[in-house]
């Protein structure tokens, strides 16, 4: 079967106008594959409830393939929608592929682990975004022969979850006056992302930053509530097991409470800006000594890939990240970033101190890493790997 004879149906409930890493990946996958194969889509557009979308999904898929009989393969964008689709009827004659991202494999709900994950074996191919996600899937009973690792792509655009449209930003403390009275930029490290526990932000704030010597700051960017919200108060009333399940499912920022205390304890060294305008985000990232991703292990959660590391590296900022889970599929030590053992405070303190003490060396290293990231990762490379997989599967029909 020739590629020109193959049409693909993409089914996704993670898609713009919603924002986030999975939405970005789904958007880039669909639009880049469309450059090589004819594609059709069923995507959630926020014009109905998500429950309504899932309820009508089987009927809509059958209608789409009836109207387009040349569709040979259906791709589902994550484990949740694949779990729903595994119960569908009427299109078993088509090839079916799912992409797994990490949490959709390790989510610690017993019924999901025992009953749903084994159903993923009905899919002809299970694509994972990292080797860590592949290993997690295989260890839970998914047939290894069906698993294929295809890393995400990257472009220089920064994470939309860190951006707000306003043009004003109150960012103080990034400069100081030297002995001659001249204004000198204050060195700073930067983090990006939601304050979920696995990101290790409070660990970094407590065990690393206070021990690094010198006049510098840690600048933190991403969604953040500086005061407790009603949702947070209600979630705190739940028993520990339910709290863990609900916050994982919602992607709730479980590290915020500890981070607030540490922001008050170290106001001169650590500043959280929340979401910032895109232009300032680019400037802040470009001027940072390093981008930090100090992830830690959290039961039932995982970093499926670490796309934000690639985005920082592609922007020319040197990346210092935990050697953990899917991050190791995005960053290779001394190739496009620096990997350190998770929770090894001494190693992190030593590395950050070295970056502060030798800024010229690490600036050059960051540019070298940028080139390596750009050569190895792109949305086009990702899409062509998907296309090859789709064509090979369809040729077995």
Place domain 160-376 in its CATH homologous superfamily: Glycogen Phosphorylase B; (3.40.50.2000)
Nearest Cα to Cα of residue 28 among 128, 123, 153: 153
| Model pTM score | 0.81
pLDDT in tens, 332-366: 999 999 999 999 999 999 999 999 999 999 999 99
pLDDT in tens, 169-225: 444 444 433 334 444 478 999 999 889 999 999 999 999 999 999 999 999 999 898
Ranges for all domains in the chain classified under CATH 3.40.50.2000: 3-153+378-394, 160-376
Burial of 31 (0-12, 13-18, 19+ CB in 10 A): middle
Element (H or E) spanning 187, and its range?
none
pLDDT in tens, 226-241: 888 888 888 888 888 8
3-153+378-394: in CATH 3.40.50.300: no
Beta pairing, strands 217-221 & 270-274: parallel
Alpha-carbon distance 180 to 348, whole Å?
33
């Amino acid at each position: 079967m020739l590629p020109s004879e193959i049409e693909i149906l993409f089914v996704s409930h993670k898609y713009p106008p919603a924002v986030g890493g999975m939405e970005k990946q789904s958007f880039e996958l669909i639009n880049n594959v469309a450059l090589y194969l004819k594609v059709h889509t069923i995507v959630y557009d926020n014009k109905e409830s998500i429950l309504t979308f899932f309820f009508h999904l089987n009927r809509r898929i059958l209608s789409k393939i009836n109207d387009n009989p040349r569709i040979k393969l259906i791709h589902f964008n994550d484990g949740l929608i694949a779990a729903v689709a595994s119960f569908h009827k009427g299109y078993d004659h088509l090839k079916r592929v799912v992409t797994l991202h990490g949490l959709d494999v390790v989510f610690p709900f017993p019924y999901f682990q025992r009953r749903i994950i084994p159903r993923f074996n009905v899919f002809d191919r299970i694509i994972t975004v990292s080797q860590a996600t592949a290993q997690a899937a295989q260890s839970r009973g998914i047939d290894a022969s069906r698993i294929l690792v295809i890393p995400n792509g990257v472009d220089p655009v920064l994470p939309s979850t860190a951006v707000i449209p306003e043009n004003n930003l109150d960012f103080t403390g990034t400069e100081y006056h030297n002995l001659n009275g001249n204004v000198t930029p204050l060195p700073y490290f930067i983090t990006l992302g939601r304050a979920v526990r696995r990101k290790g932000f409070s660990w970094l704030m407590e065990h690393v930053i206070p021990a690094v010597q010198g006049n510098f700051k840690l600048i933190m960017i991403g969604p953040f509530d500086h005061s407790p919200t009603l949702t947070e108060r209600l979630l705190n009333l739940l028993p520990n097991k339910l709290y863990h399940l609900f916050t994982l499912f919602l992607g709730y920022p479980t590290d915020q409470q500890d981070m607030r205390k540490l922001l008050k304890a170290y106001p001169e060294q650590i500043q959280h800006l929340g979401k910032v305008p895109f232009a300032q985000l680019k400037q802040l990232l470009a001027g940072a000594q390093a981008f930090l991703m100090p992830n830690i292990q959290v039961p039932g959660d995982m970093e499926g890939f670490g796309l934000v590391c690639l985005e920082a590296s592609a922007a020319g900022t040197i990346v210092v990240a935990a050697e953990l889970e899917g991050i190791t599929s995005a960053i290779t030590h001394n190739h496009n970033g620096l990997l350190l053992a998770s929770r090894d405070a001494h190693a992190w303190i030593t590395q950050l101190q070295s970056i502060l003490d030798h800024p010229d060396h690490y600036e050059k290293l960051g540019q070298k890493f940028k080139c390596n990231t750009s050569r190895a990762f792109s949305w086009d490379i990702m899409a062509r790997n998907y296309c090859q997989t789709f064509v090979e599967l369809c040729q077995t029909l």
